[in-house]
Amino acid sequence: MTNMTDKTVAVVKGLIMDGVAKANSGHPGGAMSSADYATILFSEFLDFNPDDASWFNRDRFILSAGHESMLLYSLLHLNGFISMDDIKNFRQLGSLTPGHPEVHLTPGVEATTGPLGQGFAMSVGFAAAEAHLRARLGEDALSHYTYVLSSDGDLQEPIALGAASLAGLWKLGKLIAYYDSNKIQLAGPTCKADCTDHKKVFEGLCWQVIEVDGHNHDEIRAAIRAGQMETGKPTLIIGHTVMAKGCATMEGSHKTHGEPLKADEIAATKKKLGLPATDFHVPADVLAAYCARFDGLRAKAAAWQTRVDAKLAKDAPFAALWAHVTTPRPELAIDWPSFTPGESVATRQAWGKCLDAVTNALPTLVGGSADLDPSNQTMNFRTLCGDFAVDGYAARNLAFGVREFPMAAIMNGMQLHGGLLPFGATFLTFSDYCRNAIRMSALQDLPVLYVFTHDSFWVGEDGPTHQPIEHVSSLRLIPDLIDLRPADANETATCLDIALKQPRHPSCLFLTRQGLPVLDPAEYPAIIDGPRRGAYVLKECDGTPDLILIASGSEVSLALATARLFKRKVRVVSMPSAKLFDDQPESYKHAVLPPAVTARAAAEAGRTGLWYKYVGLDGVVLGLDHFGASAPGKVLSDRYGFTPENFARMIREKY
């Protein structure tokens, strides 16, 4: 076993060197230092179905050190999930082996990684999803481990420690993290940038910590078994390794982190490892030994399917929950609450009422707030559903604490795991803390729901630090992210329906602190379904309009009030989502905004730049291109000109 394991590790290292060299781009050093651990994990411990990379009860492996991608691709090739041609096309256009792993491209890749620290944080989401679903479905239906491989750079990113703190609090015993401590990063030795004692830190975060020689196979096996046996704590295995282990002359060199090895170094290293000079060499005996346990893995997957089928046939509550776990999001049936026209309701309060209404109807809806439960209107959800892990693993509220970035990445991990509908909430101004994870939601096609309340200067007395100005426009720059800024409670319900039924795009819901009038669907019938197309005619005039007013969110009511100040024919367009509107056919967009009608004005309590796309370069935009101030919201509204009279004045001066 040991000799064959040594040979398999050598073959994996050969593939790493050859793939990076052929691409003339990549990161061989860290992949080689992690190869012992990863090869043993994949060949001896990892549960998966060789015939179905997406089998639901598989162990999850997340390569947080995404730059070590050739290590993962080499093992996925041995798994039979990708071909040798895929290995040879590393980092080439259209290949299944991009520079960093991408979940929607490559079978067996569980998460798109590259931005360091986020893979580690996503693994906490995977493990949390597993623990929650195991508690509700039963261990016979779901029970697996989550493994994550991290590097020095991963643990230098603060997001990793924020997520680790939650994993420790939540006692995620089936989370096993491996830290490849080769003490080298791109710029040189880690001692130039870090003095952290990770054993002390992680023990302080309530983890089991095991230190091993990361090249000693017996120590690696013992550590993995110890991690599996510890059910009350997550486990961190610190593998003390040598960068580019096995290289002929460049072991320990930081130059191997991000540069291909030279041809002579590769040749000498292959000789040292006992490999032939042949490129991309995988001998039959290594492949046969690696695949020897595949029949057993297939039998385990088949037995699992038999158990689930039997449980579905005889256990009605299980079958009902399983239907929710497996139903595609677009097929969700959701009954939203109604609202009384004329009442003043902040859209954050409308979200809270909607959340209360669907909590029982959507049993796989899980999420929480970054320590802002009363402000984000998630307090009732927390009270009704309990705090995850603290009140039991079946509890559905995730008390993230003041950890916006870890919250967002953990939600990505939960969505990637599958079976749940995750949401997270905080103030809009703190979306900046979440931003790179939001980008990763979009990049990975994850329909995560981000709920951002307190969406403008109307926050008032808390002042400019808490008043978002540029945030909505900034988030709209992220491709494939759905922006949803509802005008009232009715639009809020529709926007939530849009978000929760998304099959692949994440959504950001931008909600007000201040009350807004609930518009009457009898007077404005398009308000119920109009938001589904991004923008729609809320108030029509007779014939061709002389003027079109466009607004989102809290400024829609302002636009309606402004329209009443004109004797001209005025059309009012509500645009809760620029993304959804931009995706409509040209015929629809022209029907809402006829090209012949050039007298246009827009209003939104944020940056003005985006709106010239819709009103034209000579159009009128009422917005805010400076920071706010500490004062009551109404005082700021008057100061900044967000009144019907001022908006009308701006329009008259132009048109």
**Catalytic residue set:** 404
368 labelled as ligand-binding?
A: no
115 labelled as ligand-binding?
A: yes
- Beta bridge mates, 61: 147
471 labelled as ligand-binding?
A: no
DSSP collapsed to 3 states, 133-160: HHHHHCCCCCCCCEEEEEEHHHHHCHHH
Taking the C-alpha atoms of residue 417 and residue 110, their distance in angstroms, rounded to an integer, is: 8
315 labelled as ligand-binding?
A: no
Taking the C-alpha atoms of residue 110 and residue 102, their distance in angstroms, rounded to an integer, is: 8
Q: Give the count of alpha carbons within 13 A of 389, CB side only.
A: 21
225 labelled as ligand-binding?
A: no
Find, among 155, 184, 182, the residue nearest to 33 by Cα: 182
Taking the C-alpha atoms of residue 92 and residue 463, their distance in angstroms, rounded to an integer, is: 49
Taking the C-alpha atoms of residue 387 and residue 204, their distance in angstroms, rounded to an integer, is: 22
Q: Which element (helix H / strand E) includes 312?
A: helix 294-314
348 labelled as ligand-binding?
A: yes
114 labelled as ligand-binding?
A: yes
Taking the C-alpha atoms of residue 51 and residue 41, their distance in angstroms, rounded to an integer, is: 19
152 labelled as ligand-binding?
A: yes
217 labelled as ligand-binding?
A: no
Taking the C-alpha atoms of residue 585 and residue 590, their distance in angstroms, rounded to an integer, is: 9
454 labelled as ligand-binding?
A: yes
430 labelled as ligand-binding?
A: yes
513 labelled as ligand-binding?
A: yes
Taking the C-alpha atoms of residue 651 and residue 566, their distance in angstroms, rounded to an integer, is: 10
Beta carbons within 8 Å of 517's beta carbon, 6+ residues apart: 342, 343, 344, 488, 557
CB 509 within 8 A of CB 351: yes
Taking the C-alpha atoms of residue 610 and residue 651, their distance in angstroms, rounded to an integer, is: 18
- Beta bridge mates, 621: 602
Taking the C-alpha atoms of residue 393 and residue 140, their distance in angstroms, rounded to an integer, is: 16
Taking the C-alpha atoms of residue 168 and residue 147, their distance in angstroms, rounded to an integer, is: 15
Taking the C-alpha atoms of residue 160 and residue 119, their distance in angstroms, rounded to an integer, is: 8
CB 364 within 8 A of CB 396: no
462 labelled as ligand-binding?
A: yes
Pairing of strands 515-517, 344-346: antiparallel
CB 97 within 8 A of CB 82: yes
Pairing of strands 146-151, 60-63: parallel
Q: From the annotation, which residues make up the binding site for substrate?
A: 27, 257, 348, 375, 454, 462, 466, 513
Q: From the annotation, which residues make up the binding site?
A: 27, 67, 114-116, 152-153, 182, 184, 257, 348, 375, 430, 454, 462, 466, 513
Q: From the annotation, which residues make up the binding site for Mg(2+)?
A: 152, 182, 184
